[in-house]
Each structure stands twice: as structure tokens, then as C-alpha cells.
Structure 1
Amino acid sequence: MRWFSLQGLFAVVLTTALIVSGCSTGEKEGSQEKPEKKEESIPKAAHEPKEIMKQKPGRFSGDNYDRKKVEQALDQFPDNLSTEEAYDRLVYLLGENYRPQYEELMSLDPTIQVNEKTPDNKIDVPSIEQMNVEILLDASGSMAGRVDGGVKMDLAKQAIRAFASDVPEGAQVSLRVYGHKGSNQKKDKEVSCQSNELIYPLKSYDSSQFEQSLNQFKPTGWTPLASAIQAAREDLKEWAGEKTRNIVYVVSDGVETCGGDPVKEAKKLGESGIEPMVKIIGFDVDDAGQQQLKKVAKAADGSYQTVTSGDDLKKYLEGEKERIRREWEDWSIHSQLMTYEKWSKKVDEVRDLLFKKPDGNEKGISYIKKQEIKRLNESVDYLEKKNKLKDKDSLSDKIYWRDSNMTKFFGRLETSMVDKLNKAQDKAREDIKDQEEEMTNQ
């Protein structure tokens, strides 16, 4: 009996201890505080249009918009919101993403360049180029012969003098003669074939100095045409470049007689970095001479023309000036049209970025703004129904001014960008006209 009593007492104590322990544990667990939920930090909404263009897009901007989810978010707004608080929260939810279109608009290149080839098929953009004209004049003994109008050399000098005096302002001229020493007799062949001289170095035209140069020589010896072409390549080699036009005129009345290869040298000239325009003028040349000079012109990717009198030579050189003038005029007209096309295309880009109507996923900034304002106003109406606003009219006014200020901002942007493009077009047209006048003022 006594043993059972002790056992029972032990059971009672154990049970009581477990109950007390359980109660204590339960009380401890029940007394733990739950962590407070942090309220979302709402940034201040941008007011100035430039800042709005760079704002972070709202949670429900663009295609993320879901009216039901928006209303659920609006339901979480505190009651009795001030105008500023409500405005900040609405923009945080519904502010649109203007940045891509705005940055594309701001990075639009306002310059207008016309990539039309000039008549020499060389430079790509209207820009005043350096023009160099080198004249190679045959002074071999045969140039003392007579043609209709007088002595060939005298007539050639007259035509060259007139041509050089009318090169465009700013152009440089040089005159190289060959075969002007020794005689056309066999005993003087070596001296004559080595006579190849730049008597008027490449520089602007000076009538007095050019005349003195022309008076330094008379038709005398043999015809080292190949070495003259080779020397011309050396004369112009430092004038390689996109904005330099090099023209080489060769006036000759016969074939190479000094053993050189003028076709080979002409090919080298044509393939050199100076990219010259080569004009070969055969002055009273026989059939054999014409055949060789034609090959020389072809090798340099140039042209050949036969003249048989002083008048022919004069008319040819005058015709060259007229041909160049017409080509540059045509280029100018076409380039002017191209400036308009480029201007028009860029103006369309500006207006599309600003005002393009919704077309698939593409729309102008103003239509993004229109979408944003519509959603903001719908949300204001919803908040009013839920009695969460202190002053609905004040909030509506704020959204109205957001709309109005951005509309004005877009208008100013359009005016500013189009004005820049207008000035760029005017500048491009002026450059084209200057280029035309520079190349045709002869």
C-alpha cells in the first residue's frame, strides 16, 4: 500500500510539472512579437518635363498595366491623402517610360551630308577641295612645224596661257616641258631625252611668272614622253587625298622617241594614290602617234583628243571648261535635291519620335504621355470613390498641368530640332553651291 502511494504521488508531481512546463512554453511562444512590415518608400515624382523624360517607369507602366491589379494597389493607399502624397504614389505606380524615345530623339544627328560623288567621281561630300593642274608640254623639234593658224608651239602656248589663267580661284598650276634641250639630231639625242623640266612649280597662277616660264624654251629636240609622265607622278605624289583633285594635261604632237614606255608610266600614274584625271591632247599627230597616245590615255584611265589647228586646241580647252561647268551644275542640282530628301527624312524621324500614332509596339512620346494621363485620371476617380483623397480637384489640376507642360515641351522640342535641321540643310546647300562655284569659276 505504501509503495502504491509513493508511486501515485510521483505520477501526480510529474504530470503537474509537464502541465506547468507546457503552459510556460505556450506563454513564451505566444508573447513573441511579429516583425513589422516595412512601408514601401515612395519617391518624389518629377514635375519638370525634362526630369519626367528620365523618370523610372512605374510598376504598371506600358504593357504591365492591369486595371484590376492597379485598383488592388490603390486600395492599399492610406486614407485622407494629401495632393502631393497621392500624386507621388500615382506616378510611382503609373508613370510611363519615356526614356528610350527621348534619348533616341536627343541623339539624332542634326547634320545633313550629301554623299553624292562629284563630277570627278572622287570626293564623297560637298567640301572645298584643293585643285591641282599639271600641264606637260611637248617641246620636241616637231612642235616647230606649222598648222592652220601658225606654228604649233606658239599656238600651244597661247592656248595653255589662256587655260591656266582661267583655272578656279585657289587652284594650283604647274608646267613641265620635255625635249626642250639639245636638238632633234642624233648626236644630241641623249641630252634631249634627259631634258625634262618643271619650269613653273605647282602654285597659284601668276600671269607674269607663268609668261616668263613659257618664254624660256623653244621647240628643239626629241620626245621623252614616258619620263615626263613619270616626273608628273612625282610632282603630285604629296597631293594624294580625298579633298584633292589632280588633273594632268599632256599636249604632244608625236610618239615617244627616247626609248621609254609611256603606256607603262601612264598606268603607274593612274594607279597612284593621287588618282589624277588624265587628258591627252594629240596636236596634229599622225596615225602611229594617235594610236600610241590613245593607249597612254587608256592606261591612265583618262581621255584622248586629237586637234589639228590652233583653233581646235583652243576650242578643246574651252570645251573642257564648259564640260566641267555643266557637270558641276548637274551635280549641284542633284545634291540640292538630296539635301531636301535627307532633311525631310530626319524631320519625319523627329516627328515620329514625338507624335507617331500607335502602330504595333511603336508610338510617339506624346501618345505615351496621353496613355499615362488617361490612366492617372482614371485612378484619381477611383480613389475619390474610395474616399481616400483630401482634395480631388487639386490632384486633378496637378495631373492637368503635367499633361499641359509636357505637351508644350514636346512642341518646343519639335521646333528646336526642326530649326537645327533647317540650318543644317541651309549649310549643306551653301557648301554645295560654294563647291560648284569654286569648280566652275573659270
Structure 2
Amino acid sequence: MRKLMTFICSAAIILAGCGSDDKKETSEKTDAAPKEEVKKEEPTEQWWNKEPDYYEASDAGRELTEIENQLMRKPGPLSGDQYDVQKAKKKLDELPKDASKDEIERAILSLIHEDYHEETETFIKFDPSVNVDVSRPDEKTEEPAAKKSHFAILLDASGSMNAKNQNGTRMDEAKDAINSFIETLPGNSTLSIRVYGHKGSSADKDKELSCGATERIYEGGADSAKVTEAMDKLEAKGWTPIGKALSETKSDIPEDAAASIVYVVSDGIETCGSDPVAEAKKLAGEGIQPIINIIGFQVDNEAQTLLKKVAEAGNGEFSYVDSKQELEKYWEEEYQRMMDAWDEWKAEGMKQADEKSEELMNLATETGNSIMDKSELEFKRAEELIAYLEEERKLENAGDVWSRFYDRQTDIWQYGYHTSTDNWQDSYHNGNDVWREFYNEGNAKWTEYYHKTY
């Protein structure tokens, strides 16, 4: 019995010893084994968190406003005609359930952001100025009053101008008509009167003297009193050197004259052997390019034929008159031509002002409407996608994003509306101002000529 107990006890000690060593060995092995590291995945940037791309405003010339900077953002892949609600929903399914309001807003906007950049650039560079370019009747100057027009009158003082008429001689009637015409000229005009045939007599012995003499008897402003004084002692005497008078009238025209008209008052043909047609062509070819208008005063058929050719060579017109009344009528018609020119200038300027103003107003309206329409379309689509995320995906923050898109749509709509309205108003008022400038100046010049004529 004692032996049995001794065996059991020994066995227990052995077993106990073995268990202890095993545990120790196992522990040592465990301690010696290297610990495995848990690898964490690096977070990747979700597409909805990427920074958007923007267009650069070309030649802006000023700092863009906050809303303008926003509207220069490049459009989303599902904006405009590319919108597909199923594609948009499928893309938004990638949002996590706990997506924040910012993430939801960015995700929707990155998909459906409309393209506003062309309209925004139009408004950034919009110039409501109404610029009208209409050549004034006196052309080469900005202000009609500053224009220096020269009227050169060549008066026939040959012996035939002594012929009697109902109101005196032809010379008397020509002088009266010339004075009446001068009173109608613009105050800034310059005037010269050159006579020919006033020396010697119509006798053969005086032909050389008479044919070789033309004289400028007046040079200055359109002063009828001074012109009357210069012509008072003038008598009709000799031959008719029309060609020589035309050749010498170039020296009567001031160098700074921007326009010139030569009037030849004659009752006959060239009698001194010169070539008035050739002289008219030569004068018309000068830099100033004067217009030579011929007034045939009670001329016969032969004289009419010659004077018509002279007028054509000088790019002018021939007019036959038979009395003082017809001569005065001729001058009145010349003056009426000036009135008509101002009337046409006024009408064309007013027309262009209306057209250009309307063009700018239409551009302002169309641009604003485009921005407003796009903002409403963008908001409508945003509402549809927010409802999907809220009702079907059950994203708890989706409902709170609605107000953000509402505020965004309001800001964009207001920008389009107010900018359009402001530019429309500026274009309208500028057009009216230019219209009134043409109306007032055209009327003033027309009235000035009218009163001088009548």
C-alpha cells in the first residue's frame, strides 16, 4: 500500500513537472514569434471631393465678383443635354451612408453644374456704349462748324452781260442773285469772286487785253455787304476767257479748305481761244477735287453745249437759267441740297443709334435669360437627386442640402437678372443720348440753312 502511494505521488510530481515545462516552452515559443502588423489601407480621394476646374476669363479688365468666379466653373459631365437621371443616381450610389452635407452637395454639383462661362464672360466684358459712325455732310471733320468749305464764284463780265432784261442788265441780275446766295452760306465758309471779261472792250483791238485779264475782286468770309461793295463798280465790257479764269481759280481756294465748289456764271461761250473743258479736268484732278457747277445765264444752244461739257469735265452740273428769278432759284436749290444732306445725316445717325442700342439691349436680355434658365434647370435636377438620396438611399444628411441649392439658384438667378437689367438700361439710355445728339444737331443745322434760304 505504501509502495502504491509512493508511485502515485511520484507520477503526480512528474506530471506536474512536465506540465510546467511545457507551458514554459510554449510561452517561450510564443514570445519569440514576431507580431504580425495590421496594414491600414491608405484613404483614396473620392471623386466628389476633388477640386473643380475653372475657365479663365480672358481680358476681364477687372476683378471678378464672388458669384462670377463661381460661374466660371467648368460644367459637370451630366449637365445640359448630357443629363441622365439614371446615370446620376448610379454615380451617387457611391456615396457612403454617412456622407456629410458638404460631400452630398459637392457630389451633386460636380455632376450637374451647368456651363455659365460664356454668358458670364459676356457680362464681364459688356460695353453698353452706343457708337455710331455716320459721315457728316461736310465729311472730313468731326464738327460741322469746324469745317472750312470754300465757294469760288467765277463771274462773266464780258460785254454780252450788258444785255437788258426786265430787272436791269444780266450783270445786275447776276450780282443780286450772287448776294442772295451768299446770305445762305454757313458762317464758317470762305468765299472768293473772280471776274473775267471786265477789261478793255469787245472790240478786236482790246481782245488781247481782255482775254489776258481775270481778277479776284473778293476773298474772305460769306459777308454779303462786303461782296456787294466789291461788285458795285464792276462793269461788263470785254471778251470771255472762261478757260483762263478756271486755270487761275486754283489760287483762290485756300490750302486748308476741306471742300470746295466752283460756280461759273456765264452767258456765253469761250471767245479767247483757251480750252475750258481741259482746264476743268485739270482743276478737278487736283487734291482738293472741286466740283465745277456751271450756271448758263440766258445762253444759246452753242453756249449750252460748251458749258455742259465744262461742267461734266469738272464733275459738276450744268443749269440753264433765263432770268434773275431762275438764277436765285438755282442758288436756293444748291442750298436745299445742303439741308437735305444734314437731314439724311440726322436720319442715318438716329437709325444707327436705334439699331445698335437695340442690339446691345437684346444681347443683355438674352444673356441674362440664359443664366436664369440654366440656374432653374440646375436646381430642378438637384431637387430630383436630393429626393433620391433622401427617400431611396436614406442618407440622413440629404434633406438638409436642399436649402443650399435653393440659395445657390437664387444667387445665380439674381446675378443674371440684375446684370441683364443694368446693362439693358445703360444701353437704352446711351442709345437715346446718341439719338438725341443726331436729332438736335441735324435739326439745328437744317433750321440754320432754312432760315438763311427763306
* TM-score past 0.5 threshold: yes
Residue equivalent to 2:50 = 41
**Alpha-carbon distance in 2 for matches of 1:125, 1:71:** 68
Match of 1:437 among 441, 444, 447: 444
Compared CA separation, residues 415 and 266, structure 1 to 2 (3 A)? farther
2:165 alignment counterpart: 147
Whether the 8 Å contact between 1:113 and 1:339 is mirrored in structure 2 is yes
Asked if residue 229 in structure 1 is aligned to residue 251 in structure 2, the reply is no
Contact 1:42 1:92 in 2 (8 A): no
Alignment correspondent of 1:214: 231
Q: 2:69 matched to 1:51?
A: yes
Shift of 1:409: 2.5
What residue number does 1:98 align with? Answer: 116
Q: CA separation in 1, counterparts of 2:96 and 2:418?
A: 38
2:184 maps to 1:166? yes
- The change in CA–CA distance for 1:173 and 1:54 in structure 2 (over 3 A counts) is same
Q: Give the Å deviation of 1:434.
A: 1.2
SS of equivalent residue, structure 1 residue 58: coil
Which residue type is aligned with residue 241 of structure 2?
P
Q: Quick one: distance in 1 between partners of 2:189 and 2:112?
A: 67
Normalising by structure 1, what TM-score? 0.73
Gaps of 5+ in 1: 1-29, 356-363
Does residue 296 of structure 1 match 2:302?
no
Question: Aligned equivalents of 2:86 and 2:428: distance in 1?
Answer: 48
> For 1:176 and 1:431, how far apart are their aligned partners in 2?
34
Change (3 A) 1:177 1:390: same
Give, as a single letter, the amino acid of the residue that structure 2 aligns with 1:162.
S
2:192 aligns to what SS in structure 1?
strand
Residues 125 and 194 from structure 1, CA distance in 2 versus in 1: closer, same or farther, beyond 3 angstroms?
A: closer
Deviations 1:358-413 (A, max 9, x none): xxxxxx333223222222222332333434463634x3223222222333322323
Q: Is the 8 A contact 1:98 1:365 kept in 2?
A: yes
Deviation at 1:281, TM superposition (A): 0.9
The answer as to whether partners of 2:92 and 2:107 remain within 8 angstroms in 1 is no
Q: Map residues 259-270 of structure 1 onto 2, 5 A cutoff.
A: 259-270=273-284
State the 1:65 CA deviation.
3.1
1:316 aligns with 2:330: yes
Q: 1:197 and 1:404, CA in 2 relative to 1: closer, same or farther beyond 3 A?
A: farther
Post-superposition offset of 1:313: 1.5
Asked if the contact 1:139–1:221 (Cα under 8 Å) also holds between the matched residues in 2, the reply is no
Q: Matched residues in 1 for 2:396 and 2:218: separation?
A: 91
Normalised TM-score (structure 2): 0.72
**Aligned equivalent of 1:250, options 264, 267, 276:** 264
Percent pairwise identity: 29
More deviation in 406-415 or 322-331? 322-331
Aligned counterpart in structure 2 of residue 384 of structure 1, from 375, 390, 393: 390
Specify whether residues 47 and 72 from structure 1 end up closer, same or farther in structure 2 by C-alpha distance, changes over 3 A only: farther
Give the aligned CA root-mean-square deviation in angstroms.
Answer: 4.0
Q: What is the alpha-carbon distance in structure 2 between the residues aligned to residue 102 and residue 198 of structure 1?
A: 67
Indicate how the Cα distance of structure 1 residues 238 and 49 shifts in structure 2: closer, same or farther if over 3 A, else same. farther
1:403 pairs with one of 404, 409, 413: 409
> What is the Cα deviation at residue 300 of structure 1?
3.0
Q: Number of aligned residue pairs: give it.
A: 397
Bigger Rg over Cα: 2
Q: Does residue 157 of structure 1 match 2:166? A: no
Q: How does 1:66-77 map to 2 (within 5 A)?
A: 66-77=84-95
SS of the aligned residue for 1:441 comes to helix
* Corresponding residue number in structure 2 for 1:113: 132
| Structure 1 residue 191, shift from structure 2 partner | 4.7
Q: Distance in 2 between matches of 1:340 and 1:378?
A: 45
Hey, what's the Cα distance between the residues in 2 that align with 1:42 and 1:298? 77
Matches within 5 A, 1:348-387: 348-355=362-369, 364-385=370-391, 386-387=393-394
Which structure carries more relative contact order (alpha carbon 8 Å, separation 6+)?
1
Deviates more, 1:295-304 or 1:271-280: 271-280
